């Protein structure tokens, strides 16, 4: 079974600064997908960024980018130029290439300070 | 194009009552997934359905929980004889047949059992 670990329960960052959220996972599969979801106080789950394991290039989406280290099974999220609206719970998630369900980590509560 | 719809948004039940949670997938999506989020935890997969078929229910509790996705109408997650431990946020997600790694989430139903 796959597991996803987020070792930072809480983090804070000053507005306009850069912050990196950590995620590690464990799998024996070679084909899979990794995701970062954001859950603001409204509790809506919002997809931030997605990475296919077969792609060596790190995914980027505006101010959000990932550092995907396949051998180390690490998938960190970097948020540049942090904004107050980035305050949310961030979940790392894994999806096997052979199954449909997402496996989530326990989350990191990010607070952006003015 | 409307997103994934869930209703009700909040549901209060007394112990022993039944809870019915509804999920209408995005237009063109034929796959539905249910996840549960206990307080202070990440989302946990419960069940994956296509129209009229349960594909994977490996995350469903063995008793009291059932799910369906009829040919017409929304997907229903049914919890019989609710207990306090069922209090949680229940999220539905949907995807197309051709892009199962793009799951779009609804706003969730927060169930409170008194």
The string of DSSP codes covering A52-111 is ETT--SPPEETTEEEEEETTTTEEEEEE-S--GGG-EEEEEEEEETT----EE---EEEE
Give B58's Cβ-side CA count (13 Å radius): 9
pLDDT at position B1: 53
The alpha carbons of chain A give a radius of gyration, in whole angstroms, of 14
Chain A contact for B25, CB < 8 A? no
Cβ(A110)–Cβ(A87) below 8 Å: yes
Cβ(A110)–Cβ(A8) below 8 Å: no
Res. A100: pLDDT tops 90: no
Backbone angles phi, psi at B25, to 5 degrees: -70, 170
* B34 DSSP β-pair partners: B47, B92
Quick one: average pLDDT of A65-88? 96
Which residues in chain B are closer than 8 Å to A106, comparing Cβ atoms?
41-42
User: Between these two residues, A97 and B70, which has the higher pLDDT value?
Assistant: B70
Q: Which of B93, B103, B107 should one mutate to test binding to chain A, selecting the residue with the greatest count of A CBs within 10 A?
A: B103
pLDDT at position B99: 74
Which tens digit of pLDDT belongs to each residue from A21-34? Answer: 999 999 998 899 99
Q: Compute the mean pLDDT over every residue in chain A, rounded to the nearest whole number.
A: 94
Which tens digit of pLDDT belongs to each residue from A27-62? Answer: 998 899 999 999 998 888 999 999 999 988 999 999
pLDDT at position A3: 92
Closest-CA residue to B107 (of A42, A104, A109, A49)? A42
Q: Which residue numbers in chain B have pLDDT < 50?
A: none
Let me know if B103 is exposed, middle or buried by CB neighbors in 10 A (0-12, 13-18, 19+): buried
Closest-CA residue to A84 (of A36, A19, A13, A11)? A13
Q: Do A100 and B56 touch (CB under 8 A)?
A: yes
CA distance linking residue B89 with residue B107, whole number of Å: 10
Q: Do A100 and B44 touch (CB under 8 A)?
A: no
Per-residue DSSP letter, B84: G
Q: Do A91 and B42 touch (CB under 8 A)?
A: yes
CA distance linking residue B29 with residue B11, whole number of Å: 26
């Amino acid at each position: 079974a796959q597991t996803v670990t987020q070792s930072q329960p809480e983090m804070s960052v000053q507005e306009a600064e850069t912050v990196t959220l950590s995620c590690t996972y464990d799998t024996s599969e070679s084909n899979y997908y990794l995701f970062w979801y954001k859950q603001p106080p409204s509790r809506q789950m919002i997809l931030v960024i997605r990475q296919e394991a077969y792609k060596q290039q790190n995914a980027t989406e505006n101010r959000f980018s990932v550092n995907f280290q396949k051998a180390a099974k690490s998938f960190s999220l970097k948020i540049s130029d942090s904004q107050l609206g980035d305050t949310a719970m961030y979940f790392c998630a894994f999806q096997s290439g052979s199954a449909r369900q997402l496996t989530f980590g326990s989350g990191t509560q990010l607070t952006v300070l003015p | 194009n409307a997103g994934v719809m869930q209703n009700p948004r909040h549901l209060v039940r007394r112990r022993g009552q039944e809870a019915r949670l509804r999920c209408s997938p995005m237009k063109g999506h034929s796959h539905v997934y249910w996840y549960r989020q206990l307080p202070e935890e990440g989302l946990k997969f419960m069940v994956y359905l296509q129209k009229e078929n349960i594909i994977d229910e490996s995350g469903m509790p063995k008793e009291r929980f059932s799910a369906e996705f009829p040919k017409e109408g929304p997907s229903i997650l049914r919890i019989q004889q609710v207990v306090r431990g069922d209090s949680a946020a229940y999220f539905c997600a949907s995807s197309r047949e051709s892009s199962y790694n793009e799951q779009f989430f609804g706003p969730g139903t927060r169930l409170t059992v008194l």
